[in-house]
Structure 1
Amino acid sequence: MDIDPKYSTPDEAYKLLTGLIVPRPVAWITSLSPDSKVNLAPFSAYGLVTHRPPMLMVTIGTRNDERKDTGRNIVAQREFVVNVARFEDAAILQQSSADFAYSESEIEHLGLRTVASTVVKVPRLANAVAAMECRLREKLEYPDVDSIILLGEVVSFYIRDDFVRNGKVATPELDPLARIGGPNYAGLDRFVSAASLLAGESPAK
């Protein structure tokens, strides 16, 4: 089957891309609103850009034709934190993706805690075993695209001591959460659907 994207709807193209570009890491981003409310949301259009200097990218779209809160905050404050979600965080991460009002903090609503970051003003999640503090390096926009591409420079890494071995991350023990096709997540060797999480089922160990 050959598919010409010029004749595909945005939804059809989205399904193809997210089914083929897998697994994708999830950037569980904390950001600050102008009135210092902490926003929390997950994004899987996210990845490594370069290691010297350490940079990453995240693409943030719109919701109801308005820029998502995270995108607005990062552009305004020019700082954010990427918290590394583990497979065991899948349920609470899924809940944090709900459509909250701009004045409402997902952190407060979900009963989560934050701790101060080392360099940036934006706090990180207290339960995150790893996080990357970032400053906005560049914002890319295109007239025919409803998303913005944000390039962030990592200005500080946080990794809990027991997840580091000889300067390297112990990835199997970290067990990072990944997004796959559809509203589904996976661990390094496991799978769970968003629907089962919303139904109250816990990810299998």
Structure 2
Amino acid sequence: MFYRPENGHGLPHNPFNAIVTPRPIAWIGTRGSDGRDNLAPYSFFNAVAYEPPQVMFASTSAKEDRGDTKDSVANIRDTGVFAINVVEYAARDVMNTTSGSWDRDVDEFALAGLEKAACSTIDCPRVSGAPATLECKLTQIVTLPGAANFVVFGEVIGVHMRDDCIVDGRFDVTRYQPLARMGYRDYAVVREVFSLNRPDD
């Protein structure tokens, strides 16, 4: 099968996000200029640079009470900071609870029964007990073609790691089993890890 996205695929569900998988999930904590806290997952997310460490995530839809975007991007525009929490398999249900299109005045931490912690370098909430949290300072927001498509780039200026995830001096993902987004309503969990040496090692 071949299709041009501009002409449609003819399938019951869009296959695009099922092809680009698995995707890590950024569970993004923000605080608006009005002091309201927000927590929402985004699976168009990745690390993009080592020095200085930088990350990105994309938001691809909007809410009526936020105009051209969603709460996370609107808050980041206002404050210039955000926290990316790593999602573990054990948190899959509470993460899913925070994915709803809740009103801007809803605190998803409270809605999902999550303990909130303060970040160390930015005025922003994070998920207490997450395997890791990246405290980020906004560097730029890029507008992409299409309605409500924004890519947010940030520099990581603080890193929290849960002590039990550090084994022999390494951050060990097998200790918490990362959750990944597949297509449609499907997810995956990382339970098996292997190493490959590069030709120039």
Q: TM-score range by the shorter chain?
A: 0.7 to 0.9
Output one character per residue of 1:114-154: Cα deviation in whole Å (capped at 9) or x when no partner: 11111011021112121100011111013534210000110
Secondary structure in structure 2 of the residue aligned to 1:15: coil
Query: 5 Å matches for 1:4-15?
Result: 4-8=4-8, 15=14
Instruction: Report the counterpart of residue 51 of structure 1 in structure 2.
Output: 50
TM-score normalised by L of structure 2: 0.86
Distance change in 2, residues 1:146/1:63 (3 Å): closer
Moved more, 84-93 or 110-119: 110-119
The TM-score with structure 1 as length reference comes to 0.85
Distance 2:90 2:163 in 1: 19
Query: In the comparison of the two structures, how many residue pairs are matched?
Result: 188
**Distance between the aligned counterparts of 2:73 and 2:152, measured in 1?**
8
- 2:189 maps to amino acid: G
Which has a greater percent of helix?
1
- Percent identity, aligned pairs only, is 28
Equivalent residue number for residue 199 of structure 2: none
Distance in 1 separating the partners of 2:77 and 2:115: 24
The alpha-carbon deviation at position 62 of structure 1 amounts to 2.1
RMSD (Å), alpha carbons: 2.0
**Match of 2:76, SS?**
helix
Indicate the residue corresponding to 1:200 in structure 2.
Answer: none
- What residue in structure 2 maps to residue 193 of structure 1? none
The C-alpha deviation readout for 1:35-88, integer Å capped at 9, x for no partner, is: 111100000000111111100100012234631111100111110000001011
2:195: which partner in 1? none
